[in-house]
Structure 1
Amino acid sequence: MSSTATDHIVSHAAGAVLWRAAGPTASDIEVAVVHRPRYDDWSLPKGHLDPGETAPVAAVRELEEETGHSAVLGAFLKRVEYRIARGRKAVDYFSARVSGDVRSGFTPNEEVDELRWCTPPEAKGLLSYESDSEVLDLQTALPQQRTTLLLVRHAKAGKREHWAGDDDLRPLSDAGERQASALREMLATFGPDRVVSAPLLRCVQTVQGVAEDIGTEVAHETALSERSHAADPDAAVRRIVEIAADGGTPVVCSQGGVIPHVVETLAARGGVPLPATKRDGVAAKKGSLWQLTFDGRGRLVGANYLPSALPTPLPA
């Protein structure tokens, strides 16, 4: 069947299940539900992406604008699509934990005139849309112990044939520097706590800014390089699982010859369906990111692909 104009995504938004701790165990949480006077409905906080904005950055911005709270993103939950007059609208939803003072922030405004903190069952009874309830169900189904691992392919570094020196020392190009800067902003929304990279200059440079932002050094890991992968294809898989098992929110930078195998292998082991990103396999474009969610045993339970944080194609 041929596609029509109304089949295309013409509007892109992002939102989250914003939650805060409400008891002694990890399952004791409250979630934020907002009332929008324009529609007279109760919904999860969300809003449209600004031009050139990524879904994670938009989600955090919209959460602060609508609820008054800063937040740290966690697992990707779901993309909801529905038809509007001009085509289709897509809304990407994340899990998001309140950061900072949870008692301050909300001020009624034109978009949102009321915010309620509810238990998940209370929120389901309040939400106006079934799609929001389904997103909330995915939040409550997340494992209580989980790790968000951010697997990055290094940014653009020019063409290999134009570099006369050691290829391991080939630096980012100007376009790659811009990609790395945009990645730095997007990765910050997840609250990373450590940074690991293949020991190639272009990989380290891609995530150096993230390490500087959190006051740490980039740890080098040879198993993440294509050279190591050629000798032992599963070495990177084992190392990724080990890093995830340590918990927290690690940023890991590797190469295009490694990432597809890692993602495919982990997804097959965990029974995780991968988003359709590329006809001939798993996508891993330069400057892109796989957001991988693991349970406490190091098993993959969710995967989300985020293309380059820059919206337009760049020269190498």
Structure 2
Amino acid sequence: MSSPATVIAAGGVVWRDGRDGRRILLVHRPRYDDWSLPKGKLTPSEHVLSAARREIEEETGQRVQLGPPLGIQRYDVRKNGAVVPKMVHYWSAQLTGPEQEFVPNHEVDKLEWLPVDKARRRLSYPRDVEILDALAEFTPVVSTLVLARHAEAIKRKDWDGKDTDRPLSEAGYATAERLVDVLAALGVNRLRSSDAERCLTTITPYAAELGRQIHVHPEISERGYKADPSGVESIVGRAWQPGKVTVVCSHRPVLPALSKALGLKVGKFSPGAFLVAHQLEDGRLVYERFRAP
């Protein structure tokens, strides 16, 4: 007999800092009469980062930007008369603007902004308190970098033109479209790319959504790297910028050297895969790796 499928959900610790200190946003669910952190299940084919932001916004009405990961909860729930495992991913979630008006709904009927200590006492589940306590360890964030490999491209053997002009495959274009919500969830506001068509096209849909220009760097293309491997160093100062969230899109042969130059862990990138790194005020780097959305 096969094991029951795990229910995957995502959410966050929504916070804001003010003159009276840090406050945490908790939600009250009338169905369970509990106070918890906003979260919810993924829709089919939805990326976990996109789901976290969507669920937070649907339950609270607040626009947020995801920061470092705060942990994963694992517990059992009842589904269709059976007991199944559930996994909930949480991220730091900071307001991206002024607080929005909350409209009560059947899932969440009340919100409350509370100081951290009061939020810990108000939460109904010890597992949520553990996630809340992790927030202090991963803030503040100085700079965030998303390092990505371009989405799937047409195979070299099937392309007669210049390799720089080789386009994405149909699946690659679909990945680029799905990447829009993922980059939006992370609050990406600066875009840098190799000059190859397959890299530019991977982040063009998001650039169009954001209304921002893509800064082009021939030195991180396959051709540019082959001509001058030291050229990857030139992007370091432009990639790590205080208060900014930057995406850099490059190629499989270039990414190991580029990762090293940027001070990141070197690893393999499948097409469309990306690494998210948060640089903390104390100098630490917090990493996450994801497959293509």
Shorter chain as denominator, the TM-score bin is 0.7 to 0.9
Which of 46, 51, 73 is the aligned partner of 2:44?
51
Deviations 1:227-268 (A, max 9, x none): 455577676477346511443111111112233555578356
Q: CA deviation at 1:165?
A: 1.6
**Alpha carbons 1:264, 1:282 under 8 Å: kept:** no
| Equivalent position amino acid for 2:55 in 1 | E
| Equivalent position amino acid for 1:68 in 2 | G
> Where does residue 54 of structure 2 map in the other structure?
61
Q: CA deviation at 1:289?
A: 2.1
Deviations 1:135-194 (A, max 9, x none): 222211224242221222101111011112211111112221111111122211222211
| Equivalent position amino acid for 1:148 in 2 | T
- Identity percentage of aligned residues: 36
Does residue 304 of structure 1 match 2:268?
no
**Alpha carbons 1:9, 1:90 under 8 Å: kept:** no
Q: CA deviation at 1:42?
A: 1.7
> Where does residue 11 of structure 2 map in the other structure?
15
> Where does residue 250 of structure 1 map in the other structure?
246
Compare 71-80 and 258-267 and name the one that shifted more: 258-267
Does residue 91 of structure 1 match 2:88?
yes
> Where does residue 235 of structure 2 map in the other structure?
239
Give the 3 Å change call, closer, same or farther, for CA 48–260 of structure 1 in structure 2: farther
**Alpha carbons 1:12, 1:90 under 8 Å: kept:** yes
| Equivalent position amino acid for 1:42 in 2 | W
| Equivalent position amino acid for 1:95 in 2 | S
What value does the CA root-mean-square deviation take over the aligned residues? 2.7
Give the 3 Å change call, closer, same or farther, for CA 224–105 of structure 1 in structure 2: same
CA distance in 2, matches of 1:182, 1:136: 29
CA distance in 2, matches of 1:90, 1:238: 41
Which of 274, 279, 282 is the aligned partner of 1:294?
279
Which of 28, 31, 37 is the aligned partner of 1:38?
31
Give the 3 Å change call, closer, same or farther, for CA 59–162 of structure 1 in structure 2: same
Compare 51-60 and 85-94 and name the one that shifted more: 85-94
Give the 3 Å change call, closer, same or farther, for CA 98–162 of structure 1 in structure 2: same
CA distance in 2, matches of 1:240, 1:52: 34
Deviations 1:98-139 (A, max 9, x none): 23430x322332222221101222211222223222222221
Give the 3 Å change call, closer, same or farther, for CA 39–142 of structure 1 in structure 2: same
| Equivalent position amino acid for 1:35 in 2 | H
**Alpha carbons 1:19, 1:31 under 8 Å: kept:** yes
CA distance in 2, matches of 1:39, 1:283: 43
| Equivalent position amino acid for 1:110 in 2 | H
- Match of 1:69, SS state, is coil
- Match of 2:45, SS state, is coil
Alignment of 1:171-182 (within 5 A): 171-182=167-178
**Alpha carbons 1:5, 1:87 under 8 Å: kept:** no
Q: CA deviation at 1:305?
A: 1.8
Does residue 148 of structure 1 match 2:144?
yes
- For structure 2, the 5+ residue unaligned runs are none
Compare 56-65 and 86-95 and name the one that shifted more: 86-95
**Alpha carbons 1:82, 1:88 under 8 Å: kept:** yes
**Alpha carbons 1:193, 1:250 under 8 Å: kept:** yes
> Where does residue 199 of structure 2 map in the other structure?
203
TM-score, normalising length: structure 2 = 0.86
> Where does residue 119 of structure 1 map in the other structure?
115
**Alpha carbons 2:142, 2:242 under 8 Å: kept:** no
Compare 140-149 and 58-67 and name the one that shifted more: 140-149
- For structure 1, the 5+ residue unaligned runs are 269-280, 310-316
**Alpha carbons 1:48, 1:58 under 8 Å: kept:** yes
Give the 3 Å change call, closer, same or farther, for CA 106–171 of structure 1 in structure 2: same
CA distance in 2, matches of 1:300, 1:235: 26
